[in-house]
Structure 1
């Protein structure tokens, strides 16, 4: 283990809380532009132009329940659901909104970072006892955001990569955190699509499958990036968190 890892163990293990807003563009519009929903609720989607065609980028739960999927062309989606509400993508608006959410999480920890897409990562090491424990802190943060109209998922882990993955790939009940991480699909490593496909074709479908193979073998077949991602997720390597620093007010 590296020297910085030994120092970290001496101070106590790191703990991270991931917050993910799967419907952020639509939730933002619901909050900021209530007039758009004056005619009632219904399936909604945000669209963007990709390779000359308008495609679905983000869908709400109602649209997903109808079988619509991200990447589908708007024409196909309209054919299946004529009453689909459609809004143009506004990545700058979404980014500003996410940054505001991040700044608001300073109530829980001084170390909060953006975790794209549509997520936040909070280093809650040494902070959880102020809220009665990490589960209570996580619950309070999620409930507070939901009260403000944001649908949110959350997960806790000893690494930022682990919390990110567990938030986006629920694995159900597991004996402990390590077991849950090893049940994650290889897609949770955030590799290039081609790498994930190559891993699956080789019979390596979960993080546990990769962890059971020698690192040198994985690196030679799938590249150092796969090994680095695996080690970061399992806590065998470290990737520093880049916390967001809100701009101070200008004083004259």
Structure 2
């Protein structure tokens, strides 16, 4: 396994890539335990990202139908359900999905977004956090998100930024350069992907200067604050919109 860069578009991707069947087998009971153990931390980070791009105030008059792709145990869609949204999740890890369905009473389709085959223009908001970098065909995924969004609907996505300070500092030892990630986006390549599929990118925010344990706490806090201030963080969130 290794990462290469496209000489034409500068996208960084894993080559060779595993087949879909091998990828799907990774999301088993062990992965569910990992998701369950870390769900509070992941939920807190998702909440902060959503706050940064103005959710739920951005919804306005859009239908309050929220789709979370890669919803894990359903923690986020349970939260948006409490906010008055009609919730729908998609999750490939069957044990995680069943936990959300049985323990939280939320709607989750077990499989991929394409397999769910939702009707066109079904959702006002589509969200995915740390998902798109795991996909072998992110362009197909973005096109399907566009299809299921209502005109004027928002696509909110979070992914590591290979042009963030942390990636530049650590190079090939960057924590997101791992075998589970098929693609490593920069703000430029992610914007291009979205715009090529018809979206209009309205906002980008980022956070994370140094990973825990890589520097003394005072230096880490300073780096984190600076990277968020200048929008050069390790992880970025983009708010894209389907034209009305």
Q: TM-score range by the shorter chain?
A: under 0.3
Q: Which has the higher contact order (CA 8 A, sep 6+)?
A: 1
In proportion to residue count, which structure has more helix? 1
In proportion to residue count, which structure has more strand? 2
TM-score by length of 1: 0.25
* Larger gyration radius, structure 1 or structure 2: 1
